[in-house]
Amino acid sequence: MSEEIRNVRLEKAARFRERGIEPYAARFERSHSLSEAAALPEGTKEVRLAGRLVTFRNIGKLVFARLQDRSGSVQISLEQDVLGKDAYRDWKKDLDIGDIVGVGGEIFRTKRGEITLRCDTVQMLSKSLRSLPEKWHGLTDREVKYRQRYLDLITSEEAREIFRLRTRLCRSLRSYLDANGFEEVETPVLAPHASGALARPFVTRHQALGVDMYLRIAPETYLKRLVVGGYERVYEFARCFRNEGLDPTHLQDFTMLEYYVAYWDYRDNMKFTEKLLKAAIQEVTGGLKIEFGGHEIDLDGDWPSVDLFDGLQKECGLDRKSLEDVDTLKRAARDRGVAEEELSTLGRVGLIDVLFKKALRPAMIRPTFLTGHPIEISPLARRSSEDPGVADRFQLVIGGWEIVNAYSELIDPLEQRRRLEEQARGRDDERMVKEEDYLLAMEYGLPPTSGFGLGVDRLVALVSGNENLRDVVLFPLMRPEDG
């Protein structure tokens, strides 16, 4: 059926050419956007509009249609008495929903009171060869929505608003950082080492250099090189890549906002994080309450801080001594559905991390800073002066999702080398490589620094009330349809 429709529309495009009308125009001069046109007073003349036809209603010698552009929509009318009998007949016959047209004419108000443009000129700008999904239902197949996002955007105002919100949110975050003395930079996406986080990398081949390269896991070590070089407040919106599992809360390619501030520790960072996110969300949504996962989450007030071990004691009923025992931790993890195959690969720190994800994090709905992470899972973080077993680190959890990971940076180059060497002895898919150039940079002196990593996709999902990250990414990675 779709090929039949396409063939009919190809014939219509050919008929336009036969009449001397190019069905794919070079440009069109608009006088107003469609939302501006909808606000014009009746009687306004010489109005020139352009957009996509999304409805088309033929009632004899009159056609009512609706044009849509990025700003909104407006009704137009094609009338035989205005266009002339032959022109009206041809346009009525060869226009289709989905076509992009330019029109000119006068604004009037219909008997029902709707602002409408009475067209005295019509120009084909781009002939659509495919039929759109039915306007009032849009796309219901999620896979088609992800593969053909352009159709989702044409047919769904909700989808368009999600991505406008994303743009506004990123703009607001940038504005707040810029106003606080931060400088935005770009660092390499293609790197000789897989560094910056514990994750399996994507590997590619640089033919000219004859070496394997890696898509960046995180921009961290490059941004900290810049701190060494004198960038005391630096940030990047970084596209990152991790060759790991895919689920509604994880994507293999995603956007991170990372920043680093010289002379701060993680406590300074925690205070600024709360101010940054409150300011951005307030500006974008007009308030500090969001709906997510069936909860109304109030972001107002001071955000509490919870120690990881205290939280596990509360949620799992384990005292501090029990959290030192691997067998006890395994039983607690088993009770929360962790598979035996996974349990067999985990040591004490890994079990604590799993219990955090299974038991503690889902219970953290209100914005909460989680502190007191074991130093073993924080190879780039500073060791706490009060408790050498934990890192000066925090995670921000909202709605059961980790939104931010941040810490006081490890700035001792010898201790950093020791930890990276220890990490390098781990499993291939978990280790962090020893990056000599970064260690060299540290030896020139990295000032006391605190860094911050925000999952931009997760924040957008949280603020927009979407529980699947693919719904807030324009073109999520999909398995090719041809296999």
Dihedral (Cα; 28, 164, 176, 384), 10-degree rounding: -140
Do residues 280 and 176 lie in contact, with contact meaning Cβ atoms separated by under 8 Å? yes
- Sign of torsion over alpha carbons 21, 27, 31, 35: positive
pLDDT of residue 135: 54
Beta bridge partners, 33, equal none
Check residues 338 and 12 and name the one with the higher pLDDT: 12
* CA 136 – CA 138 distance, rounded (Å): 6
Dihedral (Cα; 41, 42, 43, 49), 10-degree rounding: 70
Confidence of residue 307 (pLDDT cuts 50, 70, 90): very high
Confidence of residue 255 (pLDDT cuts 50, 70, 90): very high
pLDDT of residue 346: 85
List C-alpha distances in Å: 130 to 8, 116, 141: 10, 27, 18
pLDDT of residue 335: 84
Check residues 152 and 376 and name the one with the higher pLDDT: 152
Confidence of residue 483 (pLDDT cuts 50, 70, 90): low
E-strand stretches of 279-421: 289-292, 295-298, 305-307, 368-371, 393-398, 401-408
pLDDT of residue 104: 98
pTM score, whole prediction = 0.92
- Sign of torsion over alpha carbons 349, 352, 357, 360: negative
Confidence of residue 322 (pLDDT cuts 50, 70, 90): confident
Q: Is the pLDDT of residue 138 over 80?
A: no
Q: Is the pLDDT of residue 330 over 90?
A: no
Catalogue all structural domains in the chain, each as residue range(s) with its CATH number.
2-132 (2.40.50.140), 154-304+366-472 (3.30.930.10)
Confidence of residue 350 (pLDDT cuts 50, 70, 90): confident
Q: Is the pLDDT of residue 122 over 70?
A: yes
Averaged pLDDT, 140-161: 91
pLDDT of residue 481: 81
Averaged pLDDT, 275-284: 98
Q: Is the pLDDT of residue 429 over 70?
A: no
427: CB partners within 8 A, 6+ apart: none
Q: Is the pLDDT of residue 37 over 60?
A: yes
Instruction: Tokens 């951005």: give the residue.
Output: 280
Check residues 58 and 197 and name the one with the higher pLDDT: 58
What percent of the chain shows pLDDT beyond 70?
A: 96
Averaged pLDDT, 100-107: 98
Q: Is the pLDDT of residue 183 over 80?
A: yes
Confidence of residue 228 (pLDDT cuts 50, 70, 90): very high
Confidence of residue 321 (pLDDT cuts 50, 70, 90): confident
Do residues 318 and 312 lie in contact, with contact meaning Cβ atoms separated by under 8 Å? yes
pLDDT of residue 193: 86
Do residues 456 and 401 lie in contact, with contact meaning Cβ atoms separated by under 8 Å? no
pLDDT of residue 320: 75
Averaged pLDDT, 70-81: 96
pLDDT of residue 139: 65
pLDDT of residue 180: 98
pLDDT of residue 332: 86
Confidence of residue 178 (pLDDT cuts 50, 70, 90): very high
Check residues 483 and 348 and name the one with the higher pLDDT: 348
Q: Per residue in 354-407, pLDDT tens?
A: 888 888 899 999 999 999 998 888 888 999 999 998 999 999 999 999 999 999
Q: Is the pLDDT of residue 323 over 80?
A: no
Q: Per residue in 430-456, pLDDT tens?
A: 445 678 999 999 999 999 999 999 999
Averaged pLDDT, 221-226: 97
Confidence of residue 137 (pLDDT cuts 50, 70, 90): low
Considering the chain, what is the average pLDDT of its residues? 92
Averaged pLDDT, 51-59: 94
